[in-house]
A and B are shown apart, each in its own frame.
Chain A
Amino acid sequence: MAGGIKKFVVGSFSDEAVLFPAVKNVRKAGYKIHDVYTPFPVHGLDHAIGLRETSLHTAGFIYAITGTTTALSFMSWVFTKDWPLNIGGKPHFALPAWIPITFELTVLFSAVGMVLTFCYLCQLSPFVKKHHFHPRATDDLFVMAIECTDKTNDAEVQSFLEKAGAKEINIQVAETGWWIGRYDREQKLYREEKGY
């Protein structure tokens, strides 16, 4: 929710091969790229935009360690303290027998945790809405949104994008955060809804 209203110059590109040099030039010129929306994952684009390495795998490691600890501590408590059973004459603390379960819980915690973290980071969830800069970004257009600061000259950015090969250029004022809403109802612009 905490995004706030910002002004963007939005350029749409029809080709990946045009997009890459455009991203490079825009960054070189010192404009601030808010994000680039593509119909499919584009290899190396994250690197080109200058996004930092994701720390999703670190989170995954922590979830995995949590899973390992949970499994081992729970099983050792159950089989040695809470309800010791003689199973085939094996010791109560039967570590080898627990390894498969420990492994499974490690994977389960790691997988579920990472999916949820991923959804959180991407702000993906039912009923969570975000502003779409161009509906065709999910179809066949590569959409680049440049954030305007106080010093940015809109006209200059527009002509810059045009030179870089953008097919469609417009200026949008949009909410950058998310809000609760539903996609199956007719969409009203957030600004109209809120009366901006």
Chain B
Amino acid sequence: MNSQFELPGSYKKWTVGLIVAGLLALIYGIVMFHPFAPVAHEGHGEFSSSTRFWAVLLQNSVYWLLVVNAAMFFICVTTMAMGGWQVALRRVPEAISSVVPILGIITFLVLMTIVWTGRTDIYHWLDKSAVAHDKILNGKSGFLNPTFYTIWSAICIVMWWLLGRKMRTLSLETDKNGQMDYETGKKWIWKNTVWASLYTVFFGLSVASTAPWLWLMSIDAHWYSTMYSWYTFASSFVSGMSLIALFVIFLKNRGRLEYVTEEHLHDVGKFMFAFSVFWTYLWFSQYMLIWYSNQPEETKYFIERIGTAGNPGPYKGIFFFNLIVNFLCPLLILMKRGVKRNWTMVSVMAVLIIFGHWIDFYQMVMPGTVKQHAEMMPFEFGIAALFIGLIMWGVGKYLTKHPLVAKNHPFLKESIIHHT
């Protein structure tokens, strides 16, 4: 039971399979969509097939990066709340967050290519002549310019990586140093809490505000919403919780994580339920604030998505499908106590939620970039498979390298006897 965890053959096969499928999709995209050809038409929304290539990469890299990053956020907030229950499964979110540097580098490369090759079809604000004649964009140019974009993106990714690594090191140190006595334990908890709060503060400055503004909201550069970053955060956090649940259930099925019981699953399920509702609150509020306060200039964002009366547009289906998958299903299915304590049901719901929020990011990115030419083809899913494969690879590597239970964590006993 205490031997080091080894990945089963099927896991490795799936990892390699997904990465190969993803690489094939990527090669297909490079061959078919000419991503490095110069932008054909100057101007936002002028469609060329390379737009689709970069829009899909942008959607997937940002989505999966925020999802794996949310795992570390989960550790940090529960640490700050002195929550002991998560200790039994703590190594799982740690493993997920260890993928942040890999996905961070990929995301950074994608963002930099988009910005520095002047892809005005993705970010309208890159078009200098348009910005000069545009009062709104000119006013935002202090924030929306390539230099600031580059510096702030780099700071965000590096800080998530470094602060996350510090949290993981602190946790791994406890394995070597043996059982802690009261004083050492107290000191360790204090140190852990301080680093967790630093991470959370930076998380608030990046994921919960500036990063989504820069990376996603600036696609619709004229439009803004104060709800947008929270909405993105809720999306990524609920998917992160679902990813944690999936890996916990996977390890439990392999007979590992001996201290994790239905009680822990119940609490993870509660997070999935609660943040699905929280996401809906923001989804709705963003719409309602614009609708109720009569701001016709802000309706642009929703006209792109749901169209106008008699002219629905290609995204209407996805827009409402999004609400069904991410709100109605979690609300009605995860509401019952028995479902949150059922391993099969939680894994089904976790897959559904991760897929649902991938769709959510799809409809955040696509209407402003590829406009009417949206296609949900193997290429889109192939790129998603590439990222899933990378996450599986990174998480698998961490899980096989380190003990699965933080056995010297001062709160471990609290987690073992945890009872909801």
Contacts and interface: CB of A to CB of B under 8 A. Distances in A.
B226 interface: no
Contact of B337 (A43, A57, A100): A57
At the interface, is chain A mostly helix, strand, loop or mixed? helix
16 contacts: A43-B419, A44-B419, A53-B337, A57-B337, A61-B335, A88-B294, A96-B284, A96-B287, A96-B288, A96-B291, A96-B292, A97-B288, A97-B292, A99-B284, A99-B288, A100-B288
Contacts of B337: 53, 57
Interface in A84-99: 88, 96-97, 99
A88 B292 CA distance: 9
Nearest to B291: A96
Instruction: Classify chain A: how many residues form its interface, as a range.
Output: 10 to 19
Contacts of A61: 335
Nearest to A44: B419
Contacts of A96: 284, 287-288, 291-292
Interface of B: 284, 287-288, 291-292, 294, 335, 337, 419
Contacts of B294: 88
A43 B288 CA distance: 43
Contacts of A97: 288, 292
Closest 8 CB pairs of A and B: A96-B288, A96-B291, A88-B294, A43-B419, A44-B419, A97-B292, A99-B284, A96-B287
Interface of A: 43-44, 53, 57, 61, 88, 96-97, 99-100
Nearest to B284: A99
Contacts of A88: 294
Contacts of A44: 419
B288 to A, nearest CB: 5
Nearest to B288: A96
Nearest to A100: B288
Nearest to B281: A103
B21 to A, nearest CB: 41
Contacts of B287: 96
Contacts of A53: 337
A186 to B, nearest CB: 42
Nearest to A57: B337
A21 B376 CA distance: 61
Given A43-B419, A44-B419, A61-B335, 13 more contacts: A53-B337, A57-B337, A88-B294, A96-B284, A96-B287, A96-B288, A96-B291, A96-B292, A97-B288, A97-B292, A99-B284, A99-B288, A100-B288
Residue from A44, A57, A96, A97 with most neighbouring chain B CB atoms (10 Å): A96
A93 to B, nearest CB: 14
A61 B337 CA distance: 12
Nearest to B287: A96
Contacts of B419: 43-44
A44 B420 CA distance: 9
Contacts of A99: 284, 288
Contacts of A43: 419
A163 to B, nearest CB: 27
B157 to A, nearest CB: 37
Contacts of B291: 96
B287 to A, nearest CB: 7
Nearest to B290: A96
A99 B323 CA distance: 15
Nearest to A88: B294
A61 B332 CA distance: 11
A44 B417 CA distance: 11
A67 B294 CA distance: 29
A96 B337 CA distance: 30
A76 B276 CA distance: 27
A96 B335 CA distance: 24
Nearest to A58: B336
Contacts of B335: 61
B280 to A, nearest CB: 10
A99 B291 CA distance: 13
Nearest to B292: A97
B275 to A, nearest CB: 17
B244 to A, nearest CB: 25
